[in-house]
Structure 1
Amino acid sequence: MVDQPDSTLMFAEAGEAAAAVARMIDANRDTLRTLAAHLRANPPAVVVTCARGSSDHAATFGKYLIETMVGVPVASAAPSVVSIYDATVKTPTAPLCIAISQSGRSPDLLATVAAQKAAGAHVVALVNDTTSPLAEAADTLVPLMAGPEKSVAATKSYITALAAQALLVAEWADDATLRDAVARLPERLAEAWALDWSEVVDMLVDANNLFVIGRGLGFGIAQEAALKLKETCALHAEAFSAAEVRHGPMAIVNEGFPLIAFATSDAAGDGVREAAAEFAGRGARVALADARANGDSHPPALTDHPAIEPILSIQSFYRMANALSVARGLDPDAPLHLSKVTRTL
């Protein structure tokens, strides 16, 4: 039984995200600048991402970032195509494969990366364990530099994976505004960690189900938040794009139904704000983290470059999820039936 939220490994590790991102930037700035120059000179026809769980949610963030700022289509590889069906992978000319993992040891991920490499892809590995087989397989290794992560729930390694992709895209697009935003990310993460999301703990302490919504750059963060609520709080949460939730899912929303919404300050956030307002009109309990409000929403979120606003919001969310887990009488460091490394075949 955990007595205090700030005594958990999850709390300590998530709270290190700002320092971890600073280390990641220092360690990879030159590597990613070199990779970006290569990608501009040899544009890939497609980017394929390989990841599971939280890392796959990080890849969703990367998909929106690459497609909106570079214009190259991004597809998520289905690991079972190789690990179960043993199918041969065929790729377009000059493909790029981005593999994301905390441990770098899941067999199906490694098999997928090997198949992509055999098909001619340049493999970029964003991995926390630099002694892992994934790190050894990489053409370009991007150490996440999160340090040891002993809590089962990944936090700082997820945030460093988001930041690494933002750094890569800033260099690939040669976008000075995003480059500057990534540079100030450690400072801003410290601010996001200090925000008070206790009202969300109160809203969800007795909940059984909820929706988490986002859109565009914020959708991968909604996916990650829903996963963390299941993992650490034994709370059934489903993630939806604000563009999709108005279809079938909206039918089950009624008086008192809880919802967390992540809204960026750009046009994608407008869709989230509209959906949140519609849910509230139906009597739902809505927690809208609205970056456009710059600290004045409930719960608060910070305004910055739209590409880093989701990173800041998930940092605030992690602190809340840890506190919610403890409030529900659980141990966020040791969720039932889960282990740190999932060796999916």
Structure 2
Amino acid sequence: MSDVKSLMLEEAGQSPSVVAGLLEKETSTFASIAKLFADIKPSVVSTAARGSSDHAATFFKYLFEIKCGIPVASIGPSIASVYGAPLQLKNGVHFTVSQSGASPDIVALQETAKKGGATTIAVVNVTDSPLARQADIVLDICAGPERSVAATKSFIASAAALAGVTAAVSGDQDLASALRKLPDALSSTSGLETAAAEDRLLQASSLYISGRGPAFAIALEAALKSKETAGLHAEAFSLAELMHGPMRLIDRGFPIIAFTPEDAAYENNAAALAHLEKLGASVISLSTRPSTGLGLQSTTTGNTLLDPLVSLLVYYRIIESVTRRKGFDPDKPANLLKVTETV
């Protein structure tokens, strides 16, 4: 394995400063979005995104529904770009999440959402992109250039920015306080010993990654990174879903990575993982407290719904190391480009 530090690892390590910067710089944008919600009182929110950005939108869905009680629905970009269908979104709010803001399909859907009556908000890293130029409100994730194909700091920044939206709209001071602590919690993950977890993944040919609520969105992101960087097949499931059909594949040594924050689902998650261990699963838990199986413990932000973002940075370091130990370049995955433009 090369000792040269990858761009993926370097950029993931920039996440604490990126989050701190965006929370400071985008204060007025958060306030504008909160005012928008207060003025129009939407009964539903829609989102559109691809890849890692879609996982950030899923994180937002769970967080926003829990804290604000407003349903959040994901709309497939092909509804507009391929099928040309109109949308009825009168008095709605539509978020598009994109690092580049360049893919034609999400730009087309944002235009369709606007024509359908929605106020559009672009959550982007490139503020002079086609998506941003067309949007009613632009929320800059302030991640700066990201050269590795694998999105790390831009994902964490997108999720943090959307958590900032949630805190502003809900007025939840606990969430706002936790966001201010998020950069320090992310920084505290540096130096955590992960070799045992890496060794288990090096021996794997397939694995499950699980979580519930906002942590399920983090599981989706983790599974994508496993596939695109390490070439390791991974499927993400809610732990509730994993206890159904997918459990059929569990046998001796089958790896399961579980994001298990100390939220309302923690006790149910712990019971499920204990059962899976009895079936032979090799469980790796990422949490803020000692947990089932091989536990990797991180610092809490003070809000259990936000803590999976801290655990994700631990995971990014694990999968980056596994990728290099397998002889792959995490910055240049086979068959992939940094910006993918789809229709």
TM score, norm. by length of structure 2: 0.96
How far is the alpha carbon of 1:297 from its aligned partner? 6.4
Matches within 5 A, 1:192-341: 192-293=189-290, 298-303=295-300, 304-341=302-339
Greater Cα offset, 193-202 or 178-187: 193-202
How far, CA to CA, are the matches of 1:35 and 1:186 in structure 2? 23
Tell me if structure 1 keeps the 8 A contact 2:283–2:294: no
How far is the alpha carbon of 1:217 from its aligned partner? 1.2
Tell me if structure 1 keeps the 8 A contact 2:287–2:311: no
Aligned to 2:49: 51
Equivalent in 74, 77, 84 of residue 76 of structure 1: 74
How far is the alpha carbon of 1:199 from its aligned partner? 1.6
Unmatched runs of 5 consecutive residues or more in structure 2: none
1:127-159 Cα offsets, whole Å, 9 max, x none, are 001121111112111111111000000000000
Aligned to 1:3: 2
How far, CA to CA, are the matches of 1:23 and 1:219 in structure 2? 26
Aligned to 1:129: 126
Equivalent in 54, 60, 70 of residue 58 of structure 2: 60
How far, CA to CA, are the matches of 1:45 and 1:330 in structure 2? 47
1:221-275 Cα offsets, whole Å, 9 max, x none, are 0000000000000000000001111111000101110110000101123332222
Equivalent in 102, 109, 112 of residue 109 of structure 2: 112
Unmatched runs of 5 consecutive residues or more in structure 1: none
Question: What's the C-alpha RMSD, in Å, of the aligned pairs?
Answer: 1.4
How far is the alpha carbon of 1:65 from its aligned partner? 0.7
How far, CA to CA, are the matches of 2:10 and 2:183 in structure 1? 16
How far, CA to CA, are the matches of 2:127 and 2:36 in structure 1? 23
How far is the alpha carbon of 1:37 from its aligned partner? 2.3
Aligned to 2:86: 88
Aligned to 2:36: 38
Aligned to 1:179: 176
Matches within 5 A, 1:147-186: 147-186=144-183
Tell me if structure 1 keeps the 8 A contact 2:259–2:285: yes
1:74-115 Cα offsets, whole Å, 9 max, x none, are 100111111111111112x31011110111101111111110
Greater Cα offset, 191-200 or 241-250: 191-200
- Give 3-state SS (helix, strand or coil) of 1:225's partner: helix
Aligned length: 341
How far, CA to CA, are the matches of 1:89 and 1:212 in structure 2? 34
* Residues 302/8 of structure 1: CA separation in 2 closer, same or farther (3 Å cut): same
1:303-338 Cα offsets, whole Å, 9 max, x none, are 331121011011111111111100111100000000
Amino acid at match of 1:280: E
- Give 3-state SS (helix, strand or coil) of 2:242's partner: coil
Amino acid at match of 1:202: D
